[in-house]
A and B are shown apart, each in its own frame.
Chain A
Amino acid sequence: MAQNRLRRLFLLATLALVVAGCSVIGIPDSPLNSLDPQGPFSRRIDALFWPVFWVATAIFVLVEGAVVIAAIVFRDRPGRPEPRQIHGNNKLEILWTVIPALILASVAVPTVRGVIELTSCGVDAYPVEIIGHQWWFEYRYPEEGIDTATVLVIPAGREVCATMTSEDVLHNYWIPQLNGKRYLVPGQETLLRLQADEPGEYRGQCAEFCGLSHSLMRAEVRAVTEEEFTAWIAAQKEPAAEPAAGTPEAAGRDVFLNRCTQCHTIDPVNVVVEEAFNGPNLTHFMDRGWIAGGYLPYSRENLARWLSNPPDTKPGSYMPDLALTQVEIDALTAYLETLR
């Protein structure tokens, strides 16, 4: 018996040491940390979470404590008399029905208020549209006629109201530091409010299982100052620069014209028909800083890796292996780098 208890103590101590050790090491927070709110909506959720968390923790300590105490204090030992056969107690039953009901009611009230506040956009919110594709997010700015992908640029300190839908399967837009998540449903429109306090980059992820490359379907919200936002809008409306004849960039544009135009638009080089299969609009490709649906940060190596065999990087990718030669990849890279 004593040996048994020692063993248990030893186990508990090991576990405590491991936990303590890890918190000392100080693992960095994930960029998707939902406990690090950076805008009013995520802060609203955070403020709902913590009180409930602490109430739950208190109940946890009480219940587990009572079980452990009971197992120690009332443990069968030689000479312990038989217990009285207590069948129940109606007062206690009422007590532990009513008290939890009251605690839960006090949780329910702010919940209801939170839901009502967070499910409809403010009247002055800046409108954007988010469209899900396997496996990347498309963004449209209906007031400006802008069509871009992966990185959503928003003005910091202003509410953005995203109207969302999907072209294919269910997706789920989630920028943990700015708000909770919401599905993108084919044939329906859903709403998501986004707002960042400060300029910055906020990572996101498709949270609803959407097929082979679900885990690689990532997103980013880049919040900028109002001036930067105005400038960005103006820049986005500019067509792509025309490369001078005979340059590597012009060769790259020819590769693009030959191989990529069935899916990708570069204004004014070509426009993909709406009904056809759509890839991300590449007119301002270099503005994003991310490729492959936000999975890889932009670098020449990553771009070469992506172009040489997309499904190898993103399983199931609709962008097929086009068997591009190194020369074609270099030319394309040179051209794409002009698309700022």
Chain B
Amino acid sequence: MTTTTARTTTIFRRPRSETGFWSWITTVDHKKIGIMYGYTAFIFFVIGGVEALLLRIHLASAESTFLTAADYNGLFTTHAVTMIFLVVMPMSAAFMNYLLPLMIGARDVAFPRLNALSYWVFLFGGIFLYSGLIFSSVVPPLGVTPGVTGNLDPSDARSFFGLPDGGWFMYQPNAGPAFSPGRALDFAVLGLQILGIASLLSSVNFIVTFFNLRAKGMRLLRVPVFIWMTLVVAFLLLFSLPIIAIALFMVIFDRQFGTLFFDATAGGDPILWQHLFWLFGHPEVYILILPAMGIVSEIIPVFSRKPLFGYAAVVFAGAGIAFLGFGVWAHHMFASGISTVAQVGFGLTTVAIAIPTGVKIFNWMATLWLGRIRLATPMLFALGFLTMFTIGGLSGVTHAVVPSDWQQHDTYYIVAHFHYVLFGGSILGIFGGLYYWFPKFSGRMLDERLGKIHFWLWMLGFNMTFAPMHWLGLQGMIRRTWRYDPSLEFWNRIVSVGAFIIALGLLVFMWNFYRSKRRGPLAGMDPWDARTLEWSIPNPTPVFNFAEVPVVHGLDEFWHQKYGEDKDGRPVRKDDADSTLTRLQEIGTNPPNPVHLPSPSYFPILMAAGLPLIAYGIIFHLSLFGKALIVVGALLSLAALIGWGSEPLEEAHMEPAHA
């Protein structure tokens, strides 16, 4: 702990605490930020899961009265918004934040304070979005706008819980002012706008980090696949978020200020919204899945004791998926009445995107082949990803066949498909990553037995939940349906039971996490005999990451520090491997030279705090209070920005944090 007195360089005294509450509030350490992303996203995962369970209790019978129609519509909307924007994206961000510097041999990301700003903007955006539950009933519903015919009685329309009920896709004009006058939707729209800012800031940060902070010798084709996928996702975010930002602004203006961009009776176009939404929405799908693909690309080689088969092909396939991902958006609109040419064109691009996806799957399989496979929990999840994602990918091909999609569109077949991709893919990949990298941030191992119970409960529950949905959809059960034909009741009950088995599996994980974090066996430095740089430093990761910045000589640098190859190409542990590890552990614990780290700062959280104030102000903008909130929020963010600008990144005289 340093004892030098802080020099006041700006309006605040520089924050000093390295542990406790204020250290988290003011941190600019990518690891702490990653951990905060992880915990926050996990809390939202539980919330989104409870929403799903409520939906499944309701759907256990065809004419259920468990939920009102408004609450049902509200819950499926928030379930989707939560799982996409508040769970899978920030969970991926947690891994990216924590691992990006570690896997490229850096001490932090390029812009540490910007990174903290990303997190706080994300957190406040999520809280703002959910605060609609409380505040949406305080605001009177939108008045009837001239030129539109909607005349819903708002008291009918409002969900009891105050949930937005326009669907996460917010198709216009149903989610417009005339047909959804309830204010909960405004909280969702503005909340998504704030969340988008968080992702945009991260993407810039990650791109700059990737290109500038790689350790010496880490050429582009020596970068671990997970980090490649981080870069690809960052570019996807950078190019797709501005589109949704504009679209959301148009919705906000439609709803609040009567612009009627999407109202056909006023010369607007409801289909325009669909184009804008899916121009973002489809790249978003790859934003959700590519990080998980990166994670399994790290796990499979380690537990097969082989390098990733076709490393370059896997990297380029990932980039290819992202590139093609911008050209397939209208396959969400095959039934919207778009022209024949558009349907043919987007049908063909959609078919084409299966090719790079297949390349990835085949390369993972080839990595397994002839390997020496340890079925530890991270590997089980990675194999779960591989098998379940394949099902989701193949069902995806069946609706690339445009006429088939006319039947399957908007049915449970689609619900089954994207849950195989997003749960069977993203979530299984993310949990594989959690089991794999848990020692990195806790210094301990998760319990293997509980991990395996978790895995098998999920495989059982997941398939019970989502496999029958294929059948239900082909039998004509539409999506977002509060009631359904009684002949579909049997399989719906199976699905509902499956959902609770998933919940049980999650409880096992939570218990495992809670217990192992305190009493799990110590991990040591390299518990999995891994291949990448993050394992060449002690666990839990020291605050400065690398005492000595590594020099990289090839792909899987850390593996090659431990293993040579015999004439058959089989790995042979080097004689000095153990002493190398001991030395790395030693310098990681007691760094020979002082390490200068960016200093903590109050300004990121202050700047982020201005954004929800502005958003509340927009919702209340008819009152003086609302107008005042906009001004206060804007001034707060501006003042924080000025304070930020006048504060140096590092205090010149600060001692290394560990000293």
Which residues of A in the span 20-58 have a Cβ within 8 Å of any Cβ on B? 22, 25, 27-35, 42, 44-45, 48-49, 52-53, 56-57
* Distance, CA A44 to CA B402, complexed state (A): 12
A252 CB to nearest chain B CB (Å): 27
Contacts of A180 in B (CB 8 A): 335, 403-407, 409
Q: Identify which of B310, B348, B484, B572 gathers the most chain A CB atoms within 10 Å of its CB.
A: B310
Contacts of A87 in B (CB 8 A): 307, 309-311
CB of B452 within 8 Å of the partner chain: yes
Q: A35-B474, A52-B398, A85-B571 are in contact. Are A29 and B487 (CB under 8 A)?
A: yes
B359 touches which of A56, A93, A188, A190 (Cβ 8 Å): A93
CB of B659 within 8 Å of the partner chain: no
* Distance, CA A57 to CA B390, complexed state (A): 11
CB of A167 within 8 Å of the partner chain: yes
Judging by beta carbons under 8 Å apart, are A207 and B404 in contact?
no
CB of B373 within 8 Å of the partner chain: yes
Judging by beta carbons under 8 Å apart, are A188 and B400 in contact?
no
B368 touches which of A34, A74, A176 (Cβ 8 Å): A74
- The interface-forming segment of A105-113, A265-273, A285-293, A325-333 is A105-113
Judging by beta carbons under 8 Å apart, are A215 and B484 in contact?
yes
CB of A243 within 8 Å of the partner chain: no
User: What 0/1 readout, one digit per residue, does chain B (304-346) give for beta carbons within 8 Å of chain A?
Assistant: 1111011111000000000000000000000111001001100
* Distance, CA A74 to CA B366, complexed state (A): 12
CB of B146 within 8 Å of the partner chain: no
- The interface-forming segment of B19-27, B67-75, B185-193, B200-208 is B67-75
B455 CB to nearest chain A CB (Å): 11
Size range of the chain B interface in the assembly: 35 or more
Q: A64-B387, A84-B570 are in contact. Are A111 and B487 (CB under 8 A)?
A: no
User: What 0/1 readout, one digit per residue, does chain B (403-423) give for beta carbons within 8 Å of chain A?
Assistant: 111111111000000000000
Q: A88-B311, A209-B174 are in contact. Are A114 and B570 (CB under 8 A)?
A: no
CB of B7 within 8 Å of the partner chain: no
Which residues of B in the span 466-483 have a Cβ within 8 Å of any Cβ on A? 474-483
CB of B576 within 8 Å of the partner chain: no
B335 touches which of A110, A182, A206 (Cβ 8 Å): A182
Judging by beta carbons under 8 Å apart, are B372 and A209 in contact?
no
A231 CB to nearest chain B CB (Å): 31
Which residues of A in the span 58-78 have a Cβ within 8 Å of any Cβ on B? 59-60, 63-64, 66-67, 70-71, 74-76
Judging by beta carbons under 8 Å apart, are A85 and B565 in contact?
yes
Judging by beta carbons under 8 Å apart, are A169 and B174 in contact?
yes
User: What 0/1 readout, one digit per residue, does chain A (178-212) give for beta carbons within 8 Å of chain B?
Assistant: 01111101111011000000000000011111111
B475 touches which of A34, A42, A76 (Cβ 8 Å): A34
CB of A83 within 8 Å of the partner chain: yes
CB of A315 within 8 Å of the partner chain: yes
CB of A2 within 8 Å of the partner chain: no
Judging by beta carbons under 8 Å apart, are A115 and B403 in contact?
yes
Judging by beta carbons under 8 Å apart, are A33 and B265 in contact?
no
- The interface-forming segment of B31-39, B350-358, B595-603 is B350-358
* Distance, CA A205 to CA B480, complexed state (A): 12
A107 touches which of B305, B397, B477, B572 (Cβ 8 Å): B397
Judging by beta carbons under 8 Å apart, are A207 and B478 in contact?
yes
Q: A74-B368, A116-B344, A182-B406 are in contact. Are A168 and B475 (CB under 8 A)?
A: no
User: What 0/1 readout, one digit per residue, does chain A (137-177) give for beta carbons within 8 Å of chain B?
Assistant: 00000000000000000000000000000011110101010
CB of A299 within 8 Å of the partner chain: no
Q: A83-B306, A183-B337 are in contact. Are A96 and B351 (CB under 8 A)?
A: no
A83 touches which of B153, B370, B386, B456 (Cβ 8 Å): B370
A169 touches which of B173, B268, B311 (Cβ 8 Å): B173
Q: A8-B456, A67-B365, A115-B344 are in contact. Are A88 and B474 (CB under 8 A)?
A: no
Judging by beta carbons under 8 Å apart, are A211 and B485 in contact?
no
Judging by beta carbons under 8 Å apart, are A28 and B487 in contact?
yes
Q: A29-B475, A74-B368 are in contact. Are A111 and B347 (CB under 8 A)?
A: yes
A39 CB to nearest chain B CB (Å): 13
Judging by beta carbons under 8 Å apart, are B407 and A34 in contact?
yes
B340 CB to nearest chain A CB (Å): 4
* Distance, CA A277 to CA B460, complexed state (A): 51
Judging by beta carbons under 8 Å apart, are B383 and A211 in contact?
no
Judging by beta carbons under 8 Å apart, are B361 and A63 in contact?
yes
CB of A258 within 8 Å of the partner chain: no
B152 CB to nearest chain A CB (Å): 6
CB of A213 within 8 Å of the partner chain: yes
Contacts of B520 in A (CB 8 A): none
Q: A176-B407, A207-B409 are in contact. Are A30 and B374 (CB under 8 A)?
A: no
B411 touches which of A48, A80, A116, A207 (Cβ 8 Å): A207
CB of B625 within 8 Å of the partner chain: no
CB of B490 within 8 Å of the partner chain: yes
Nearest B-chain residue to A100, judged by Cβ: B358
B492 CB to nearest chain A CB (Å): 11
* Distance, CA A171 to CA B20, complexed state (A): 54
* Distance, CA A28 to CA B365, complexed state (A): 40
Q: A34-B474, A63-B390, A215-B481 are in contact. Are A115 and B374 (CB under 8 A)?
A: no
CB of A216 within 8 Å of the partner chain: yes
* Distance, CA A86 to CA B264, complexed state (A): 60
Judging by beta carbons under 8 Å apart, are B410 and A168 in contact?
no
B456 touches which of A11, A74, A179 (Cβ 8 Å): A11
Judging by beta carbons under 8 Å apart, are B485 and A31 in contact?
yes
Judging by beta carbons under 8 Å apart, are B487 and A97 in contact?
no
Judging by beta carbons under 8 Å apart, are A205 and B310 in contact?
no
Judging by beta carbons under 8 Å apart, are A104 and B171 in contact?
no
A234 CB to nearest chain B CB (Å): 33
Q: A48-B401, A277-B149 are in contact. Are A169 and B179 (CB under 8 A)?
A: yes
Q: A29-B487, A115-B344 are in contact. Are A211 and B174 (CB under 8 A)?
A: yes
Which residues from chain A sit less than 8 Å from chain B, CB to CB? 4, 7-8, 11, 15, 18, 22, 25, 27-35, 42, 44-45, 48-49, 52-53, 56-57, 59-60, 63-64, 66-67, 70-71, 74-76, 80-89, 92-93, 96-97, 100-101, 104-105, 107-108, 110-112, 114-116, 118-120, 134, 167-170, 172, 174, 176, 179-183, 185-188, 190-191, 205-216, 277, 311, 315-316, 318
26 CB < 8 A contacts A-B: A4-B452, A22-B490, A30-B488, A52-B398, A67-B383, A70-B369, A71-B383, A74-B368, A82-B570, A85-B565, A86-B309, A104-B397, A108-B347, A112-B344, A116-B344, A134-B179, A183-B336, A186-B173, A187-B264, A207-B335, A209-B174, A209-B410, A209-B480, A215-B480, A315-B156, A316-B153
Which 6 pairs, one residue from A and one from B, show the smallest C-beta to C-beta distance?
Answer: A180-B406, A32-B476, A187-B264, A190-B337, A88-B310, A315-B69
Starting from the known contacts A87-B310, A315-B70, 11 additional A-B residue pairs (CB-CB under 8 Å) come to A22-B494, A49-B401, A53-B398, A75-B375, A76-B373, A82-B571, A88-B311, A107-B401, A111-B402, A186-B264, A277-B151
